[in-house]
Amino acid sequence: MSYNTFSLAIKSTLDFTAKRLADSKALAFVDLSAAEFSPEVMESDKPAVVWEFATLSEDPRDPLWLCTFDIGIMTFLDPSQYLSLDLISMFLDAFKAGSTFQIFDYSGDVAPTQTVGSMYVIASGVSPHQADSATGLRFVTVTARAIRHV
């Protein structure tokens, strides 16, 4: 598996995991790096699971990687943040320090059957609440190490 393919596998594994978490709560899901393709979610007054990469790099070099990403909840009219904090606990549980994930390449048309690497969460924590007049965003920032199977 090449460098470019492994970075795609990491992203597709996180897409799959975040979507699975959203589905478990019957929530919409959007990758913020492609939010323009989901206006029905971004303009809705219903809560949605949102996520985005912050960093992804070889560290110190391939096959060792370091990534940081944000996963959270977008809410509408949640002034006391009860809904967002309740859902944030789901992300803290899913991505707690010490948890591990197998990395698959979910980017193809066929469900993957072979792991291409593994990821180990080294830190996670709640980021400050972001809000405008009605919409709020609350994220869990996750830092993880990954290794590409060679």
Does 1 score more than 60 pLDDT? no
Percentage of residues in the chain having pLDDT higher than 90: 62
Q: Where are the domains of the chain?
A: 3-148
For 115, which DSSP code?
-
Does 52 score more than 80 pLDDT? yes
Q: The tokens of 99 are what?
A: 């948890």
For residue 15, what are the CA distances in angstroms to 19, 43, 48, 107?
Answer: 6, 21, 14, 10
Counts for the chain of helices (H) and strands (E), in that order: 3, 7
Mean pLDDT across the chain = 89
Name the range with the highest mean pLDDT among 34-38, 54-58, 142-146.
142-146
pLDDT for res 85? 84
Average pLDDT over residues 49-69: 94
Higher-scoring residue by pLDDT: 69, 37: 69
Question: What sign results for the dihedral spanned by CA atoms 94, 102, 13, 24?
Answer: negative
For residue 73, what are the CA distances in angstroms to 35, 46, 93, 129, 130?
Answer: 14, 10, 14, 10, 11
Question: What sign results for the dihedral spanned by CA atoms 48, 111, 33, 125?
Answer: positive
| Fold category of 3-148 in CATH | STM4215-like (3.30.2000)
